[in-house]
Structure 1
């Protein structure tokens, strides 16, 4: 196999199935990114935080021996709903004629903050060092009843 064929098969796949699958993934990813207002740093940060929260939550549940597939399922559904809210905010920005994505930006920052707090809580369960000031603030939130519904 010469270098040209190798490069082509690496780019589009060695078989028709690989090419079709790659094309479908690219189409879905492009469409999703467009509905979410583009694949900018804020959206990448939110997705990164969502994945980190899911993984640290899973690890915490394993550590506590409280792994529950239903809780994991609804956690994934919740993250999907968050992405739908981001898409709604993109549409709202377009509807009111915003030159800048005001609603989208507010929603992204809000959900990045929520995911960040959840990651910190999960790190505490995993006994990863968290600064004392953050631990105290989280305890104050828990005492005031503002904690979001989490396992």
Structure 2
């Protein structure tokens, strides 16, 4: 029985790895950092909501679906990168080789880091004043865009 479980586990892991390798074009350090940041963001957001009496399952599910969509867009960007490469097209920015997938990952990583800092503040964790000020400024710009209908 133990051998059967071991074979199933190894087979499942291999299939899972092959699927992610194909969909994301490989597993990079940048993608790994984004995955960790996403997990920390979600758990710290749930913790902050729980501590502040704002915990709602609907909001939690929305967060999960946003993360799924984020990774789906990153996978799509990886596929576009592979298509460009297959067609002999090079994506260059300022004369440097660029990757659409890496651009998406860096954008979402910045967003996740900002959210983690906000969650830390909501949990009562002291933040350096320059960090709190930067978050406040960035949130103000985001809220203005949101009011204009430019964001989400």
TM-score (normalised: structure 1): 0.80
Q: Which is greater in Rg? A: 1
User: Could you tell me how far apart the structure 1 residues matched to 2:140 and 2:77 are?
Assistant: 32
Structure 1, residues 42-94: CA drift from partner, whole Å, max 9, x if none?
A: 00100000000011011101101111111111101110111111111111112
How large is the RMSD of aligned CA atoms in angstroms?
2.2
Instruction: Tell which has more relative contact order, 1 or 2 (C-alpha 8 A, sep 6+).
Output: 2
After the TM superposition, which parts of structure 1 deviate over 3 Å for at least 4 consecutive aligned residues? 98-101, 146-149
Structure 1 residue 141, shift from structure 2 partner: 2.8
User: Could you tell me how far apart the structure 2 residues matched to 1:75 and 1:22 are?
Assistant: 30
1:40 aligns with 2:28: yes
The residue aligned with 1:132 is 129
User: Could you tell me how far apart the structure 2 residues matched to 1:101 and 1:23 are?
Assistant: 35
List alignment gaps of at least 5 residues for structure 2.
92-96
State how many pairs are aligned.
Answer: 137
TM-score (normalised: structure 2): 0.80
